[in-house]
Amino acid sequence: MINLPASTTSGAFVHPALFYEGQAEYLAGVGGFVRTALAADEPVLVAVPGARLDALRESLDVGAAEVTWTDMTRLGRNPGRILAALQDFADRHAGRSARIVGEPIWPGRSRAEVLEATRHEALINTAFAGRRATILCPYDVQGLPAAVVSDARRTHPTLIEKGEDLLSPDYADASAVCADCDHPLPEPDGAVPRLEYAHGQLGEVRAYAEAWARGTALSAARRGDLVLAVSEAAANSLSHGDGKGTLRLWSAWNSAGSGVVAEIRDGGHLADPLAGRRRPSLASPHGGRGLWMIHQLCDMVEIRASADGLTLRLHMTAP
């Protein structure tokens, strides 16, 4: 059974990385964490990749009502969606100490997905500060690149390694980690047309995206999602990006199949690094609802901020 850091029982937020080698260590570490939570009558969410999910269910043999199970390959396809789901679970159990297993990075993730998932891991510390919760994040040290494991030491205040609970000497502020995730976005192959838009032209942006999407492998439903996401991003440009922006659309291939990319650039700035990653408040006059919707619609969202403005890349895949 896993020994949690002493601060776990203090009511403070705890965010350890569990470094494991092989399935036996995985089941012992994660399974021990879940059993400890159940013994304390604490709500438990387990969000890990599907194959791991099945193995845990079999090894734990607990009732369906005792643990909330989520396939992270679905929830975390877009890493920007994970945080809102974790917060929703904690909110549903307000007043109790929530226990969560979240494995957002697994072997086979693309470099872009790993960067966004690393950003998510750093922002967890900001989003959950002061909350009664523990989020355990397993890392496959045999299957993941060494750089990913090194980043886990920067995004987690505590580590569980070879059965020992340790403070991470490499733990870094979320702003520093997020800045290091801002790698330059690669340019598409070949020339890509650019649509410039300003106030009064949102309808033209929608029409342009819709006409372009008809020539892709996206289903009719996903074409609608793409147009809605582009429309929300362009509306943000008009409201917060100096009233103008540019749109580029192109096709791309990835490990899941063919896909599309929409890029929106404007002169805006992202004041809140959690915008779009947590469910917006209905009481807020702005609340980041557009960016949150974009995260829900897209398979991945990349955001880059610079002195010149903001760049959003929205990815959708047609398997």
Is the pLDDT confidence value at 318 over 90?
no
Q: How far is it, in rounded angstroms, from Cα 163 to Cα 19?
A: 9
Q: What is the DSSP string of 259-305?
A: EEEEEEEES---S-TTTTTSPPPTTSSSTTHHHHHHHHHSSEEEEEE
Confidence of residue 63 (pLDDT cuts 50, 70, 90): low
Rounded mean pLDDT, 162-184:
95
CA neighbours closer than 13 Å in the CB half-sphere of residue 31: 18
Which class does domain 6-180 fall in?
alpha beta
Is the pLDDT confidence value at 113 over 50?
yes
| pLDDT tens-place string over residues 35-59 | 999 999 999 999 999 999 999 999 9
Tell how strand 44-48 and strand 67-71 pair up: parallel
| pLDDT tens-place string over residues 234-285 | 999 998 878 899 999 999 876 666 899 999 999 988 888 999 999 887 665 5
Tell how strand 309-318 and strand 257-266 pair up: antiparallel
Q: Domain spans of the chain? A: 6-180, 194-318
Rounded mean pLDDT, 176-202:
94
| pLDDT tens-place string over residues 211-237 | 999 999 999 999 999 999 999 999 999
For residue 269, the model assigns a pLDDT of 86
Contact 250, 259 (CB under 8 A): no
150 burial (CB, 10 Å; 0-12 / 13-18 / 19+) is exposed
For residue 11, the model assigns a pLDDT of 56
* Amino acid identity at 112: A
Q: How far is it, in rounded angstroms, from Cα 281 to Cα 291?
A: 13
| Mean pLDDT, rounded, of the chain | 91
Contact 25, 54 (CB under 8 A): no
Rounded mean pLDDT, 113-134:
96
% pLDDT > 70, the chain: 92
For residue 6, the model assigns a pLDDT of 42
Handedness of CA 140, 301, 14, 101 (dihedral sign): negative
Domains 6-180 and 194-318 share a fold: no
Between 285 and 161, residue with greater pLDDT? 161
Between 61 and 141, residue with greater pLDDT? 141
For residue 61, the model assigns a pLDDT of 78
For residue 163, the model assigns a pLDDT of 85
CA neighbours closer than 13 Å in the CB half-sphere of residue 168: 23
For residue 244, the model assigns a pLDDT of 93
For residue 252, the model assigns a pLDDT of 87
Tell how strand 164-167 and strand 158-161 pair up: antiparallel
Pick the CATH number of 194-318 from 3.30.470.10, 3.40.50.1980, 3.30.420.270, 3.30.565.10: 3.30.565.10
